[in-house]
Amino acid sequence: MKTLLSLLALLTVVTAQAKLNVVATTADLGALARAIGGDKIAITSMARPTEDSHFVDARPSFIRLLNQADVLIEGGAELEAGWLAPLLNNARNPRIQSDAIGHILALQGIRLLEVPTGPLDRSQGDVHARGNPHFLMDPANARIVAAHIADSFCKIDAASCETYRANLKQFTDALDARLLAWEKALAPFRGQHAVSYHNSWPYFSDRFGIQVDVFLEPKPGIPPTPAHLANVIKQMKEQKIRVIFVEPSLNRRTAETVARATGATLVDVSLFPGGIKGTEGDYLKLFDAITDALARALSAPAK
Partner 1 sequence: MKLSKALGWSSALCLAALSLQAQETNEAEAIRRQLREANEAFQKAMENYRSATESLNKRIEAVEKKQGIVVTSAPPVYVVEGAARTNAAPTSLLPKPWSPSDPVRIGTQQSYIGISLDALMAAGYSTAKDIEALEPGGHDPKQRGFTVQNLELTLDGKVDPYFRGQANIILQITPEGETAIEVEEAFLETMSLPWNLQVKAGQYFTEFGRLNPQHPHAWDFVDQPLVNGRFLGADGLRNPGARVSWLVPTPFYSELFLGLQNSQGETAFSFRDTHEDGFLFGRPAADTRVKSFSDMIFAPRYAASFDLADGHTVVMGASAVLGPNASGKDNDTQIYGLDLFYKWKPHHQSKGFPFVTWQTEAMWRRYEAAAFAGDSDHPALPSETLRDWGIYSQLSYGFRRGWVGSLRGDYVTGRSAALDPDPDRDTRWRISPALTYYPSEFSKIRLQYNYDDRDRIGVDHSIWIQFEFLLGAHSAHKF
User: Under rule CB under 8 A, which residues in 88-117 are in contact with partner 1?
Assistant: 89-90, 92, 94, 97, 99, 101, 105, 107-109, 111-112, 115
Stretch that binds partner 1, among 29-37, 142-150, 257-265, 291-299 (CB under 8 A): 142-150
Rule CB under 8 A: say whether 129 interacts with partner 1: yes
Closest CA to 140 of 113, 103, 166: 113
What is the spatial distance between Cα 72 and Cα 88, in angstroms, rounded to a whole number?
10
Binding letters toward partner 1, positions 273-302, x by CB under 8 A: ------------------------------
Q: Which of 9, 120, 177, 230 forms a contact with partner 1 (CB under 8 A)? A: 177
Rule CB under 8 A: say whether 44 interacts with partner 1: no
Query: Which residues lie closer than 8 Å to 190 by C-beta, 6 or more apart?
Result: 208, 209, 210
Rule CB under 8 A: say whether 152 interacts with partner 1: yes
Rule CB under 8 A: say whether 54 interacts with partner 1: yes
Rule CB under 8 A: say whether 42 interacts with partner 1: no
What is the spatial distance between Cα 74 and Cα 103, in angstroms, rounded to a whole number?
8
What is the spatial distance between Cα 197 and Cα 209, in angstroms, rounded to a whole number?
19
Burial 162-179 (b: 16+ CB within 10 A, else e): ebbbebbeebbeebeebb
Stretch that binds partner 1, among 35-43, 245-253, 283-291, 295-303 (CB under 8 A): 245-253
Q: Are 236 and 195 in contact (CB under 8 A)?
A: yes
Compute the least distance from the CB of residue 231 to partner 1, in Å. 20
Compute the least distance from the CB of residue 190 to partner 1, in Å. 16
* CA atoms within 13 Å, Cβ hemisphere of 142: 34
Q: Which of 148, 193, 207, 242 forms a contact with partner 1 (CB under 8 A)? A: 148
Helix, strand, or coil (residue 130): coil
Residues forming beta bridges with residue 212, ordered by sequence position: 194
Give whichever of 59 and 237 is closer to partner 1, judged by the CB atom. Answer: 59
Q: Which of 39, 57, 162, 256 forms a contact with partner 1 (CB under 8 A)? A: 57
Binding letters toward partner 1, positions 153-172, x by CB under 8 A: --x-----------------
* Intra-chain end-to-end CA distance of the chain, in Å: 72
Greatest distance between any 2 Cα atoms in the chain: 75
User: What is the DSSP annotation of 180-214?
Assistant: HHHHHHHGGGTT-EEEESSS--HHHHHHH--EEEE
> CA separation (Å) from 300 to 1, 25, 181, 265, 277?
69, 37, 20, 9, 22
Compute the least distance from the CB of residue 241 to partner 1, in Å. 23
Number of H helices, E strands in the chain: 10, 8
User: Under rule CB under 8 A, which residues in 62-81 are in contact with partner 1?
Assistant: 63-64, 67, 81
User: Under rule CB under 8 A, which residues in 183-242 are in contact with partner 1?
Assistant: 221-223
Compute the least distance from the CB of residue 199 to partner 1, in Å. 15
Binding site for partner 1 (CB under 8 A): 7, 10-11, 48, 50-52, 54-55, 57-61, 63-64, 67, 81-86, 89-90, 92, 94, 97, 99, 101, 105, 107-109, 111-112, 115, 122, 126, 129-131, 140, 143-144, 147-148, 150-152, 155, 176-177, 179-180, 221-223, 248-251
